[in-house]
Chain A
């Protein structure tokens, strides 16, 4: 379907999210929409998918002026949107999630719908069992389910909002192959992202948004530097690799075993020294989160020993780990890391954890102001923390870390952040390393893993690889390991040793 947006304008309060954006996307085209956080990508897509009504401007489908009243109306017109966090029902069975929202008789024919789901899935090489539960799926699989559902409802236009955030490399490759085949069948694909390499690899053409306006368009072959300049209005340099000077031992695991809800980890041993950065890679749910949370004392180990700076911490609680200088930054920033409703200043007061029963408001605000400046957070001490953008929330979490830390554990430290924030966050983390802390982090972004780690641990179905030096490891090799290929070599090595 040919889609045309004409001078779309949308303001929220005083912020102009879209300031007159025009864009035309023909069918069979994969259109990339590139821009940093807050550039207006999401607003534009939510207007096209019926969430918002534009203040001004119009939408043309197949050349005809159309008013889209709601998301349900959009899908009726053939426009389906895949949200960054798939809008599905985690506690439901896949088949129930699949049919929810489709019109029909009182008793839905689950068996027939299941067959249709399987047939659609087979077309794209997806493996989805209609009777399984949605919350047992990985984010990538939930996206697959959502894509199939939108196709089943007759979508002609597919909008994908940051779909590669939080999915593994093999899943990303599968997604891209699917999108290419859909475009080949005449679908219109709109791919929203802030990841240059994804857009460059996949899209037939790219529109770059900056501060609510169309900053420019590009067609292959893309020049990365030109795209970056359009995104930021200036050049941004990527940092160079720096090798660590390992110091004293910070974390040691000896023959550790962990029982997860769906997966077991057995007999894991390794050692991390001060100044080291260890990247944990693997498909979501392969065991890396379990290992990370047991390094923080959040998940109890069932075998072996966990040591922090020469103390045996096996079986101790999170608070005991905290006292040893362990900090844990979860992926769900607003749910697990910050307290929505409390202001920035109140967060700093809470994290200090000392002083009398009364809060010295003025001193707290001053202290908050100082840290806000140091960490370059865009917000005032009195702002509620949920008003911050994703990048600023992550900066906030870093700013809340105690001064003296030995081990920092991070889940997806830069998920959903733009390049500038990512560089900033890693700059701060590397400073911590230089001060003698060790870092363990999980990331689905293989480039990030290779760029910032000294050593990499790969997880596959509860198995952990030996620590591989990041230098000399290629994205391809890492992708294979994550997908379960090439593990035989490790077994042979251990056998010889």
Chain B
């Protein structure tokens, strides 16, 4: 395989990671505020279908993306209302929403099944696109991929560097303390759940208008992506940069599966297609292994010097979820 082919392939990895990134970063925002949005899988499907349908009807790609964001925000609003105002279980409501949205997308998407529509075009960045190597990799992408790069950095700066971002972390970590310091916890949770939902909603149209354009119902290959997004959010330790690493790793593994298929004829193609999923799970396990009590116990048997190093690495990898994740806030 020549270098150029590899570069184009890797550029494709960046493109196909964009929906994962939007999903995981949207979820990160919502979970940082203390709300788990498990509707992700169904929501992405519904937004993909809705975005494609809107573009098909109006001819405007921009409207397609807006439709995706709108549906994502709307689903998040339902979850926010059920969990924050009605104080119902986020997990139960999220599960029901994910099933509802998935079936709704297949049902409502029936009329536009297999239709061909417009597709997001590549946007070459002048001069930068001509840099050897890097140009192909980074600067011949479509606008949503560029935005996904900006999203990683922007959301990281927001969460970890700005005053409202600090408050966002506060309401997810210890809402009672944030309340004492003047935060309107429930209003902010509404806001961030909806904003996070809208950002995650963009993952749908990115897929149906760019990565694999069109709507093919159950064979879109999109079902399941939402669960991977949720895994990446946790694996990413609620940090946009780590989430980005997870998203790129997953896309890379998927691409590797495709590339290796001709080279490894002995292995059924299904194995290579499915491999990224268990690999992701193994990575998750490895990252969080330091939490387990038996690991601590067996580590205590190691000689002193080696143990310290291992413990340090495990601590660095290990991240704790926002303490108030999933729990409603009550003033007293």
Interface centre among B174, B183, B307 (most CB of A within 10 A): B174
Interface members, chain A 91-117 (any B CB < 8 Å): 91-92, 96, 99-101, 104-108
Residues on the A chain within 8 Å of B183, using CB: 72, 101
Q: Which residue of A lies closest to B177 (CB)?
A: A87
Does B320 sit at the interface, judged by CB under 8 A? yes
Complex contact B167–A100 (CB within 8 A): yes
Residues on the A chain within 8 Å of B323, using CB: 91
With known contacts A100-B167, A100-B170, A300-B300, A87–B162 Cβ distance under 8 A: no
Does A71 sit at the interface, judged by CB under 8 A? yes
Q: Chain A's interface: helix, strand, loop or mixed, by majority?
A: loop
- What's the Cα separation between A71 and B180 when bound, in Å? 5
With known contacts A92-B169, A300-B297, A300-B300, A51–B331 Cβ distance under 8 A: yes
Interface members, chain B 109-141 (any A CB < 8 Å): none
With known contacts A51-B331, A92-B169, A106–B300 Cβ distance under 8 A: no
Complex contact A87–B163 (CB within 8 A): no
Does A259 sit at the interface, judged by CB under 8 A? yes
Interface members, chain A 422-447 (any B CB < 8 Å): none
Q: Which residue of B lies closest to A51 (CB)?
A: B332
- What's the Cα separation between A146 and B181 when bound, in Å? 12
Contact of A89 among B161, B170, B320 (CB under 8 A): B170
Residues on the B chain within 8 Å of A51, using CB: 331-332
Complex contact B332–A106 (CB within 8 A): no
- What's the Cα separation between A96 and B174 when bound, in Å? 13
Complex contact B164–A106 (CB within 8 A): yes
Does B103 sit at the interface, judged by CB under 8 A? no
Q: Mark A231-270, 1 if CB is under 8 A from B, else 0.
A: 0000000000000000000000000000100000000000
Does B142 sit at the interface, judged by CB under 8 A? no
Complex contact B166–A96 (CB within 8 A): yes
Complex contact B163–A104 (CB within 8 A): yes
- What's the Cα separation between A75 and B179 when bound, in Å? 12
Q: Mark B152-167, 1 if CB is under 8 A from A, else 0.
A: 0000000001111011
Complex contact B300–A100 (CB within 8 A): no
Complex contact B166–A72 (CB within 8 A): no
- What's the Cα separation between A105 and B331 when bound, in Å? 27
Q: Mark A56-100, 1 if CB is under 8 A from B, else 0.
A: 000000000000001110010000010000011111100010011
- What's the Cα separation between A87 and B162 when bound, in Å? 21
- What's the Cα separation between A101 and B173 when bound, in Å? 14
Output the least CB separation between A108 and chain B (Å): 5
- What's the Cα separation between A106 and B323 when bound, in Å? 25
Residues on the B chain within 8 Å of A124, using CB: none
Does A366 sit at the interface, judged by CB under 8 A? no
Residues on the B chain within 8 Å of A89, using CB: 169-170, 173-174, 177
Complex contact A101–B181 (CB within 8 A): yes
- What's the Cα separation between A101 and B179 when bound, in Å? 9
Does A52 sit at the interface, judged by CB under 8 A? yes
With known contacts A72-B182, A101-B178, A259-B300, A106–B162 Cβ distance under 8 A: yes
Does B223 sit at the interface, judged by CB under 8 A? no
- What's the Cα separation between A99 and B169 when bound, in Å? 13
Q: Mark B257-291, 1 if CB is under 8 A from A, else 0.
A: 00000000000000000000000000000000000
Does B4 sit at the interface, judged by CB under 8 A? no
- What's the Cα separation between A294 and B176 when bound, in Å? 34
Residues on the B chain within 8 Å of A350, using CB: none
Does A473 sit at the interface, judged by CB under 8 A? no
Does A363 sit at the interface, judged by CB under 8 A? no
Output the least CB separation between B230 and chain A (Å): 22
Complex contact B332–A91 (CB within 8 A): no
Residues on the B chain within 8 Å of A99, using CB: 163, 166
Residues on the B chain within 8 Å of A101, using CB: 167, 170, 178, 180-183
- Chain A, interface residues (CB within 8 Å), range: 20 to 34
Interface centre among B166, B167, B169, B170 (most CB of A within 10 A): B166
Complex contact B296–A300 (CB within 8 A): yes
Output the least CB separation between B328 and chain A (Å): 15
- What's the Cα separation between A244 and B300 when bound, in Å? 37
Q: Which residue of B lies closest to A46 (CB)?
A: B332
- What's the Cα separation between A89 and B172 when bound, in Å? 10
Q: Mark A24-55, 1 if CB is under 8 A from B, else 0.
A: 00000000000000000000001000011000
With known contacts A87-B174, A300-B296, A71–B179 Cβ distance under 8 A: yes
Complex contact B163–A52 (CB within 8 A): no
Q: Mark B288-314, 1 if CB is under 8 A from A, else 0.
A: 000000001100100010010000000
Does A226 sit at the interface, judged by CB under 8 A? no
Does A491 sit at the interface, judged by CB under 8 A? no
- What's the Cα separation between A107 and B157 when bound, in Å? 10
- What's the Cα separation between A91 and B319 when bound, in Å? 10
Q: Which residue of B lies closest to A87 (CB)?
A: B177
- What's the Cα separation between A46 and B180 when bound, in Å? 11
Complex contact B170–A108 (CB within 8 A): no
Interface centre among A52, A89, A107 (most CB of B within 10 A): A89
Q: Which residue of A lies closest to B157 (CB)?
A: A107
Complex contact B162–A107 (CB within 8 A): yes
With known contacts A91-B323, A92-B169, A92-B173, A107–B180 Cβ distance under 8 A: no
Contact of A302 among B162, B300, B320 (CB under 8 A): B300
Output the least CB separation between B238 and chain A (Å): 11
Complex contact A88–B300 (CB within 8 A): no
- What's the Cα separation between A57 and B166 when bound, in Å? 37
Residues on the B chain within 8 Å of A88, using CB: 174, 177
- What's the Cα separation between A232 and B167 when bound, in Å? 44
Output the least CB separation between A256 and chain B (Å): 12
With known contacts A91-B173, A91-B320, A100-B181, A107–B300 Cβ distance under 8 A: no
- What's the Cα separation between A99 and B332 when bound, in Å? 24
Contact of A105 among B163, B167, B307 (CB under 8 A): B163
- What's the Cα separation between A107 and B296 when bound, in Å? 40
Output the least CB separation between A260 and chain B (Å): 11
Residues on the B chain within 8 Å of A302, using CB: 300, 304
- What's the Cα separation between A104 and B167 when bound, in Å? 12
Output the least CB separation between B212 and chain A (Å): 38
With known contacts A101-B181, A107-B161, A52–B173 Cβ distance under 8 A: no
With known contacts A89-B174, A91-B323, A72–B180 Cβ distance under 8 A: yes
- What's the Cα separation between A89 and B323 when bound, in Å? 10
Q: Which residue of B lies closest to A99 (CB)?
A: B166
Complex contact A108–B173 (CB within 8 A): no
Residues on the B chain within 8 Å of A75, using CB: 181-182
Output the least CB separation between B12 and chain A (Å): 37
Residues on the A chain within 8 Å of B296, using CB: 300
Output the least CB separation between A42 and chain B (Å): 11
Residues on the A chain within 8 Å of B177, using CB: 87-89
- What's the Cα separation between A51 and B174 when bound, in Å? 16
Task: List 18 A-B residue pairs with CB atoms under 8 Å apart, sorted by A's residue number.
Answer: A70-B182, A71-B181, A75-B182, A87-B174, A87-B180, A89-B177, A90-B174, A92-B169, A92-B173, A99-B166, A100-B181, A101-B170, A101-B178, A101-B183, A107-B163, A108-B162, A108-B163, A108-B166
| B residues adjacent to A (C-beta < 8 A) | 161-164, 166-167, 169-170, 173-174, 176-183, 296-297, 300, 304, 307, 320, 323, 331-332
Known: A87-B174, A88-B174, A100-B170. 13 other contacts (CB 8 A): A51-B331, A71-B180, A71-B182, A72-B182, A91-B320, A96-B166, A100-B166, A101-B167, A106-B163, A106-B164, A107-B163, A108-B162, A302-B304
| Among all A-B residue pairs, the 7 with the closest Cβ atoms | A101-B181, A72-B182, A87-B177, A71-B180, A300-B300, A108-B163, A300-B297
